[in-house]
Amino acid sequence: MSDELPEQFDLVVIGTGFPESCIAAAASRIGKTVLHIDPNDYYGDVWSSFNLEALNQLLEQPSPSLLNASYTWHDAATETNWTREALLAKSRRFSLDLCPRIAYSNGELVKLLIKSNICRYAEFRALDHVCMLYNDELVSVPCSRSDVFNTKTLSIVEKRLLMKFLTACADNGEDKCNEDTLAFRGRTFQEYLEAQKVTPKIASCVLQAIAMCNANTSFEVGMQRTQRFLGSLGRYGNTPFLFPMYGCGELPQCFCRLCAVYGGIYCLKRSVDNICQATDSQELLLSSAGKTLRATHVVSAPGYLPGMVCELQPHISRGLFIASSALGSEELNKGGGGVNLLRLLADEGKREAVLLQLSHYSGTCPEGLFIFHLTTPAVSNDPAADLAVFTSQIFKAPAPQILYSAYFTLTTPTNTALSPVKSVYCTAAPAYELDYDAAIENAHQIFSQLYTDAEFLPRAPDPEEIVVEGEDPSALNENSLPEDLRAQLQEMDITE
Amino acid sequence: MAKTYDYLFKLLLIGDSGVGKTCILFRFSEDAFNTTFISTIGIDFKIRTIELDNKKIKLQIWDTAGQERFRTITTAYYRGAMGIMLVYDITLEKSFENIKNWIRNIEENAAADVEKMLLGNKCELNDKRQVSKERGEQLAIEYGIKFMETSAKASINVEEAFLTLASDIKAKTEKRMEANNPPKGGHQLKLTESRTKDSWLSRCSLL
């Protein structure tokens, strides 16, 4: 097989971040010829995970999509054996995300992975606890029925109230003229909650952790989020959330793998220097590394399109901490540490941040260490200052022993990225969201513009279901075949 | 459904384009050889169950899906792999030289204790040989791994190679299990794994 790149493609995708990889996989899956390139020498772009050394290198050389970067060692102050040298010696055991996310067990990402069968490339860890801060104390929000029975956080009366409230939420909407809730349309979810006469602690549970609301969240949105939370319970593990093993950087790679399995070609460390419309056809001409490629369509991550000045603004402020102890009580960190979620509020609920604690069970750090990912919508060009109001809430006595901290800003283009050249599409920068809903929506939408009416990532058959030319199909277990193939097989038997 | 095997091992094939990784995979899994496999899309791993010491071992063998072509194997490819077949072509010096790079790539991305084996493929083409058997043996000794010359086309040593690798992994796995230290994994999402109908919240009149 030659190492020469073909010259003609249906689609060239620039950048291997999450939405680009989705589009590449979806196009390849329906038989389009795809070239997928990335100027970086790693997969995932700003959606990638890095080992400790690689993260430091990245932070030392900020790019337009990652600004205001810095990192600090705090090892001198510690009494643990985790010195800077000890951490760096285990550098490769870290998988540090720029864009940490979690997935609702019944959310868009999980549905897409299952529907497309890309789930065979990924592994997940169910989150151990969904937490909230109540009266300065970190407590676990009961998620399962046994949680509610066993929790010491709530009194008997509160348990009843919480169950009653959540049951009402789960049922809401089934009866269209639900008189109880009709009155709250157009008002806030908090007003609805107050009207249910729940205790302040229950209100906290619901607002902070379950509905993930603030004071201004509308009744409809709050209800929808509560139902999403409830709808993802009892599927895998104790909470409604999953975290991808080895970090979120694995996910774009899973889509890339599918693209490659269907014939997509991958080239890292490769960029496009120029794009123009061909004079003799509808195609686009791309010059890349001294070569001219022809493509019907081009999809690019923001910032990688040549000749397109893209003004960027701070979008997400990130903090990343490595510690030698976990956050919260022993109860929250049974068996060596949990993978826990905590949503933080500040400024009377006007600002929020998401804290994700990862233990070695997530495959992202060595045993005995913990990673804290802190994420908030950017309000300035100083990520540490943006996050100070949240770090002060969590890193106080008895605070986890922080060994390393890093801060950076992720950016987004100010203008809706409209390309000057027709047939060139730009994906969106990572949004501030818990799951991947917006990213999937973005990918799906671009895919639909490229290929109207084509199905977005239909199920890829399992290897056992594929009959290769020259193979004896009857050697396969007939019953494990999909119905259409089984019918074909039976037809063959008859004709023979 | 009852488990039909005692162990499940994930194995990888690594090496330059065109050394015959896919052919080795098909020789072992289907006992077939066909030069048109290359154009077969949609296949990323093959499964074959073997028996060793009365244990049923399900081997899940992953192909590179062509991502090795421009040295762009994803790091995710290496996750959870327990054994790796490093393949070169005895008629192509370059593919042998590149084994060093592939080993570096494995060291960077795979688990530290992954079992490795070196295969010099296309040994039926002796008249076109560029890499002597001794050099292959020497390199394997250098890395402390096992070595075999194989031919997917003439069906030489392919079966033996996989059985050797599987048996080494089995020995290692059983040793670890005796030490009572099984590796900890996560969830794999399953189509069939559906929510218990009516979750705990709906119609709960107890509380």
CATH code, domain carrying A200 = 1.10.405.10
Chain-chain contact of B74 with A145 (C-beta, under 8 angstroms) = no
When mean pLDDT is compared over A114-123, A177-186, A460-469, the highest value belongs to: A114-123
* A237 touches B at CB < 8 Å: yes
Residue A290 has pLDDT above 80, yes or no: yes
Q: Minimal Cα–Cα distance from A218 to chain B, Å?
A: 23
CA dihedral sign, ordered A122, A126, A132, A137: negative
Q: Minimal Cα–Cα distance from A168 to chain B, Å?
A: 9
Residues above pLDDT 90, as percent of chain A:
65
Q: Residue A292 falls within a domain, yes or no?
A: yes
Contact criterion met (CB below 8 Å) for B161 and B173:
no
A305 with A316, same domain?
A: no
- How does residue A468 score in pLDDT terms, banded at 50, 70 and 90? low
Q: Region B82-108: what's the mean pLDDT? A: 96
**Which residues from A are below 8 Å from B38, CB to CB?**
1
Chain-chain contact of B80 with A123 (C-beta, under 8 angstroms) = yes
Where do the domains of chain B lie, and which CATH numbers do they carry?
7-180 (3.40.50.300)
CA dihedral sign, ordered B140, B145, B148, B151: negative
Residue B189 has pLDDT above 80, yes or no: no
Lowest model confidence (mean pLDDT) among A57-71, A164-178, A204-218, B21-35? A164-178
Chain-chain contact of A468 with B30 (C-beta, under 8 angstroms) = yes
pLDDT at B198: 38
> What's the CATH code of the domain at A352?
3.30.519.10
Residue of A nearest to B66 (CA): A260
> What's the CATH code of the domain at A432?
3.50.50.60
Q: Minimal Cα–Cα distance from B193 to chain A, Å?
A: 8
Chain-chain contact of B199 with A267 (C-beta, under 8 angstroms) = no
Mutate which: A155, A165, A236, vs B, most B CBs within 10 A: A236
- How does residue B33 score in pLDDT terms, banded at 50, 70 and 90? confident
Residue of A nearest to B108 (CA): A92
Quote the mean pLDDT of chain A: 88
Name residues 81-110 of chain A within 8 A of B (Cβ): 92, 106, 110
Mutate which: B72, B77, B104, vs A, most A CBs within 10 A: B72
pLDDT at A4: 79
**Which residues from B are below 8 Å from A263, CB to CB?**
41, 66
**Which residues from B are below 8 Å from A171, CB to CB?**
202
Residue A445 has pLDDT above 90, yes or no: yes
Of B74, B190, B196, the CB nearest to A43: B74
Residue B134 has pLDDT above 90, yes or no: yes
A208 with A323, same domain?
A: no
Chain-chain contact of A125 with B187 (C-beta, under 8 angstroms) = yes
pLDDT at B35: 62
The pairs formed by A336-339 with CB atoms below 8 angstroms and a separation of 24 or more are A336/A360, A336/A361, A336/A367, A337/A361, A337/A370, A338/A127, A338/A128, A338/A129, A339/A125, A339/A126, A339/A127, A339/A128, A339/A243
Alpha helices in A173-218 (DSSP H): 179-182, 189-195, 200-204
Q: Are strands B146-149 and B115-121 parallel, antiparallel or unpaired?
A: parallel
Helix (H, G, I), strand (E, B) or coil at B71: coil
pLDDT at A167: 85
Chain-chain contact of A163 with B207 (C-beta, under 8 angstroms) = yes
Among candidates A235, A247, A225, A204, which has minimal Cα distance to A356? A247
A456 backbone dihedrals φ, ψ, rounded to 5°: -85, 110
Chain-chain contact of B202 with A3 (C-beta, under 8 angstroms) = no
* A125 touches B at CB < 8 Å: yes
Mutate which: A38, A154, A246, vs B, most B CBs within 10 A: A246
pLDDT at B187: 67
CA distance A317 to A380: 8
CA distance B158 to B119: 9
pLDDT at B207: 29
Of B108, B200, B207, the CB nearest to A92: B108
H or E element that contains A304: none
pLDDT at A179: 64
A87 with A41, same domain?
A: no
**pLDDT tens-digit profile of A214-273?**
888 999 999 999 999 999 998 888 899 999 999 999 999 999 999 999 999 999 999 999
Q: Minimal Cα–Cα distance from A92 to chain B, Å?
A: 7
pLDDT at B191: 45
* A466 touches B at CB < 8 Å: yes
pLDDT at A240: 94
Lowest model confidence (mean pLDDT) among A8-12, A479-483, B38-42, B150-154? A479-483
- How does residue A152 score in pLDDT terms, banded at 50, 70 and 90? confident
Sheet of strand A402-413, all strands in order from the earlier edge strand to the far edge: A66-73, A402-413, A312-323, A370-377, A351-358, A340-346, A129-134, A137-140
Instruction: Please count the structural domains in chain A.
Output: 4
- How does residue A465 score in pLDDT terms, banded at 50, 70 and 90? confident
Q: Residue A113 falls within a domain, yes or no?
A: no
Q: Residue A275 falls within a domain, yes or no?
A: yes
Chain-chain contact of B207 with A267 (C-beta, under 8 angstroms) = no
Chain-chain contact of B203 with A167 (C-beta, under 8 angstroms) = yes
Q: Region A178-195: what's the mean pLDDT? A: 83
- Strands (E) in B41-141, as ranges, are 45-52, 55-62, 83-89, 115-121
- How does residue A78 score in pLDDT terms, banded at 50, 70 and 90? low
Q: Minimal Cα–Cα distance from A280 to chain B, Å?
A: 31
A376 with A330, same domain?
A: yes
**pLDDT tens-digit profile of B71-86?**
899 999 999 999 999 9
- How does residue A478 score in pLDDT terms, banded at 50, 70 and 90? very low
A316 with A409, same domain?
A: yes
**pLDDT tens-digit profile of B41-63?**
667 899 999 999 999 999 999 99
Residue of A nearest to B193 (CA): A235
Of A170, A468, A470, the CB nearest to B201: A170
Residue B171 has pLDDT above 50, yes or no: yes
Residue A476 has pLDDT above 70, yes or no: no
Residue of A nearest to B36 (CA): A469
Q: Count chain A–chain B contacts defined by CB atoms under 8 A.
A: 153
Residue A428 has pLDDT above 90, yes or no: yes
Chain-chain contact of A262 with B66 (C-beta, under 8 angstroms) = no
Of A166, A167, A463, the CB nearest to B43: A463
A410 with A354, same domain?
A: yes
Domain around A483? 463-495
pLDDT at A330: 87
Q: End of a domain among A173, A198, A232?
A: A232
A419 with A337, same domain?
A: no
Q: Minimal Cα–Cα distance from A460 to chain B, Å?
A: 8
Higher pLDDT, A27 or A178: A27
**Which residues from A are below 8 Å from B23, CB to CB?**
none
Residue A342 bridge partners (DSSP)? A131, A355
A305 with A178, same domain?
A: no
pLDDT at B184: 52
Residue A480 has pLDDT above 90, yes or no: no
Lowest model confidence (mean pLDDT) among A153-157, A198-202, B189-193? B189-193
Residue A466 has pLDDT above 80, yes or no: no
A424 with A473, same domain?
A: no
Q: How many CB atoms lie within 10 A of CB A66?
A: 18
Residue of B nearest to A165 (CA): B201
Residue A196 has pLDDT above 60, yes or no: yes
A136 with A83, same domain?
A: yes
pLDDT at B195: 41
- How does residue A494 score in pLDDT terms, banded at 50, 70 and 90? very low
A453 with A391, same domain?
A: no
Q: Residue A109 falls within a domain, yes or no?
A: no
pLDDT at A477: 45
pLDDT at A177: 56
Is ipTM over 0.95? no
Contact criterion met (CB below 8 Å) for B94 and B22:
no
Residue of B nearest to A230 (CA): B201
Of A166, A231, A257, the CB nearest to B76: A257
Among candidates B129, B110, B92, which has minimal Cα distance to B10? B110
A419 with A301, same domain?
A: yes
| CB hemisphere CA count around B71 (13 angstroms) | 13
**pLDDT tens-digit profile of A92-107?**
999 999 999 999 999 9
Q: Residue A118 falls within a domain, yes or no?
A: no
Q: Minimal Cα–Cα distance from A494 to chain B, Å?
A: 25
Of A234, A249, A257, the CB nearest to B196: A234
pTM for this model (two decimals)? 0.90
Residue B178 has pLDDT above 90, yes or no: no
pLDDT at A225: 94
When mean pLDDT is compared over A2-11, A133-142, A165-174, the highest value belongs to: A133-142
- How does residue A46 score in pLDDT terms, banded at 50, 70 and 90? very high
pLDDT at B199: 45
- How does residue A434 score in pLDDT terms, banded at 50, 70 and 90? very high
pLDDT at A420: 65
Q: What share of chain A is helix, strand, coil (3-state, %, to 5)?
A: 35, 25, 40
Of B30, B34, B69, the CB nearest to A1: B69
